[in-house]
Amino acid sequence: MTVTERFLKLVSYDTTSREGTGVCPSTPGQLALARELVRQLRELGVTDAHADEHGYVYGSIPANCSRRIPVMGLIAHMDTSPDAPGGNIHPRITEPYDGGELVLNREKNIRMGPDDFESLRRNVGKHLIVTDGTTLLGADDKAGAAEILAAAELLLGSDRPHGAVRLAFTPDEEIGAGADLFDVKGFGADYAYTLDGGTLGELECENFNGASAHLVIHGRSIHPGSAKGKMVNAALVAMELNALLPAGEIPAKTEGYEGFFHLTGMKGEVEQAELSYIIRDHDRAKFEARKRTMEQAAARINEKYGAGTAELALRDSYYNMKEKLADCMFLIRDAERALREVGVEPKIVPIRGGTDGARLSYEGLPCPNLCTGGENYHGRYEYIPVEDMEKVVEMVARLLWNLAE
């Protein structure tokens, strides 16, 4: 199977993760995909491929040389973001892109062009895998999974020397739980790479510090005809609390190393309302300050409307892996070399998000992030060039072969 064929097979599985289910994986589709990944690995000759009771998939490729080489790991996640529909995906491979507007869905008049999505300009001439505009595509991170499978096929089908390689696919990364039950010791790698990045050529060794915030606002319902001085409308109080946060520090107004507060969900009635946020910043001190800002906003609401009006639950999700990778930058240099060997100029960029690799780096498995080639993640305009996936596969194989030189 080509990497494209593998990718199209993987995106046929609905693996949208869900917060608050209390189980791992959070959705049954991830277990179904885990079984498919085990099947494909065994078909390739990965005889120890298996999924554990939580849906984590593991397998290994033995070394075929006598030279002592660090054991390397390759990791991707199986779930897709709950930010957009992830089931009943209808992917389509375009003709070589001509630089104009793409019609994703003629019936619904859903279109995508370079004026809104600048990344299209650098992909002229490539075959793009797109959606029909009603769902996300799932390249985050089924492209990474397909590329790992295809790279494994190259390694297993070649006599070129390489060291031992460990493979893993994780559930629930998109809800910050991908590394929760990862068996680092059993995985047995000295170092690893996640394939969970975007644009071809990008390498990432630093990421946001991340936390989640969930607020429950308690109101008081009174008949509106006699509510003066008595009603506390929880939905309005929730809006008031959100207004206490810095208006310009949101994803739509930040870039690079700038952090943000991101409202990811809200619901409310007079009696009760809920707000869900993610909090992000590359700088640890600024990250802690953002959490204090959220706490202060809840405290001001409680001062105004009474104790217990706003209940805040804050939870750290992951931290910036930069400090854990400072002594392992040879991992980035090796990836840069492999990219150049396949004709791609590398670019080191900060992740405006997180990966399993951030958590795993803190658990003793240094794990920077490699590109997969995807664009416009977490939305209906997500796409990935076929040619870029093929480049990533070649890059990963070369990276592992080079270590045995």
| Cβ atoms within 10 Å, residue 295 | 13
Is 173 an active-site residue?
yes
Is 79 an active-site residue?
yes
Sign of CA dihedral 184, 187, 191, 196: negative
**Nearest-5° Cα angle at 256, 250 to 257:** 80
Write out the H or E segment, with its range, that includes residue 210: strand 209-218
The DSSP result for 277-332, as a single string, is EEEEESSHHHHHHHHHHHHHHHHHHHHHH-TTSEEEEEEEEE--THHHHTT-THHH
**Please, is 246 exposed, middle or buried when counting C-beta atoms within 10 Å of its C-beta (0-12, 13-18, 19+)?**
exposed
Under 8 Å between Cβ of 250 and 261: yes
The DSSP result for 154-186, as a single string, is HHHT--S----EEEEEES-GGGT-TTTT--HHH
Ordered alpha helix ranges (H), 45-133: none
Indicate which residue of 173, 336, 375, 394 is catalytic. Answer: 173
Sequence letter at residue 270 = V
Distance, in Å, from the CA atom of 216 to the CA atom of 309, rounded to the nearest integer, reads 8
- Residue ranges of E strands in 52-114: 57-61, 72-77, 92-93, 102-105, 110-112
Please state the length of the chain: 405
Sequence-distant (≥ 6) Cβ neighbours of residue 225 within 8 angstroms: none
Sequence-distant (≥ 6) Cβ neighbours of residue 346 within 8 angstroms: 201, 202, 203, 335, 336, 339, 340
Distance, in Å, from the CA atom of 24 to the CA atom of 180, rounded to the nearest integer, reads 9
β-bridge mates for residue 90, sequence order: none
Distance, in Å, from the CA atom of 147 to the CA atom of 144, rounded to the nearest integer, reads 5
Indicate which residue of 79, 141, 196, 204 is catalytic. Answer: 79
Instruction: Give the pair of three-digit tokens for residue 48.
Output: 């120890």
- Catalogue the active-site residues: 79, 173
